Amino acid sequence: MAKNSAKIGVLLVNLGTPDSTKTSDVRKYLREFLMDWRVIDFPFIPRWMLVNLIIAPFRAPKSAGEYRKLWTDRGSPLLFHTQDLKDKLIKKLDPEKYLVAMAMRYQNPSIEKGLAELMKAKVKKIIVLPLFPQYASATNGSVIDRVMEIARDWQIIPEITFVSNYVDHPLFLEAWTELGREAMQKHDYDKFLFSYHGLPERQIRKGSVEGYCKLGACCNKYGLKNQFCYRAQCFQTTRLVAEKLGLPEDKVMTCFQSRLGKDPWIKPYTEDTIKELAKEGVKKVLVFSPAFVADCLETTVEVGEEYKEQFEELGGEHWDLVPSLNSNDTWVECVKDLVESRS
């Protein structure tokens, strides 16, 4: 490729993180995050009142304390793991052909800043890769929505390609398999739990094709009608990773964490699953969190600490968390392939 020819821009987008663990910064982050109509799909006025008068004021101090448990000398793990992924990806891609930027859907660095960096370099095409393996309107859909909102004001809009999901990409599955095998050397586990971030049931129904989604056994098969059903994608991820690890079906469970509010969310809930395991006398559990490609509050603190404490209080002996993909070399190769296959 000629040195003066236009490059292809790549934008890696993760969820976001507060700028610091100060309560004011956490409150600012929560307000931006939860005011997204794809996250809390209420009309504007009730959503504004819920977020700004109830959730953000009362939840921010507690969340700030949780972020302090997570923060390191490098700052927010979600941010620096994404930076590490970007740095490794740059070394893997042809520098004469690609320019890589990163962004957070909420807070900093913003999607607007990431796109501006690519447009300043006069790229001929932009590949947007949301770092959410399973498609959901509240994650991938929100990233796509924001990119399109920004781009519609440009005089010149280059070709823009979005990667919507990659639940069955061989290298994505292999990366989780590698991490799983390493973790499985610690104990002979009784159960293997796959815990995904939850969503309100109403959001699944909104995306149902021809009324296919029943929020139950329909997720046992993955096909055309539920290829964009978040719950079905999660069950598919579990099946494929468990198969590669050679895990017996009766030892594998899929569940959903991080509920917010009183409306029903997709089931089974992780908290309820933990109670069931304790009643069955299960002592050793290995947990995967394949909805998260970088360690963050939901993995390190919620699954790794809070659920561990709950399990041990109920009589469990070992609750171990498989780390997220972060900048795992096989995961980097997966991202490289996702980019090159869309170039």
- What kind and span of H or E run contains 298? none
The structure tokens listed for 232 are 């079905």
User: Minimal CA–CA distance to 273: which of 254, 290, 288?
Assistant: 254
**Residue 119 region by backbone torsions, left for phi larger than 0, else alpha for psi between -120 and 50, else beta:** alpha
Long-range CB pairs of 303-311, under 8 A, 24+ apart, other chains included: 303/195, 303/257, 303/270, 305/69, 307/195, 307/257, 307/270, 307/271, 307/274, 310/271, 310/274, 311/274, 311/277, 311/278, 311/285
Residue with tokens 């055309």: 224
**SS3 (DSSP) at 308:** helix
Strand partners, 129: 12
Long-range CB pairs of 252-255, under 8 A, 24+ apart, other chains included: 252/191, 252/192, 252/194, 253/191, 253/192, 253/193, 253/194, 254/194, 254/196, 255/193, 255/194, 255/195, 255/196
With contact defined as beta carbons under 8 Å apart, do 19 and 71 qualify? Answer: no
- The answer to the question of whether 112 is labelled as a binding residue is no
Please list the helix, strand and coil fractions of the chain in percent, rounded to the nearest 5, in that order: 50, 15, 35
With contact defined as beta carbons under 8 Å apart, do 103 and 78 qualify? Answer: no
- 187 exposure class (CB count in 10 Å sphere: 0-12, 13-18, 19+): middle
Angle between helical axes of 329-340 and 77-92 (0-180°, round to 10) = 60
- The answer to the question of whether 197 is labelled as a binding residue is yes
Q: Which residues are annotated as a binding site for Fe(2+)?
A: 197, 298
Q: Which residues are annotated as a binding site?
A: 197, 298
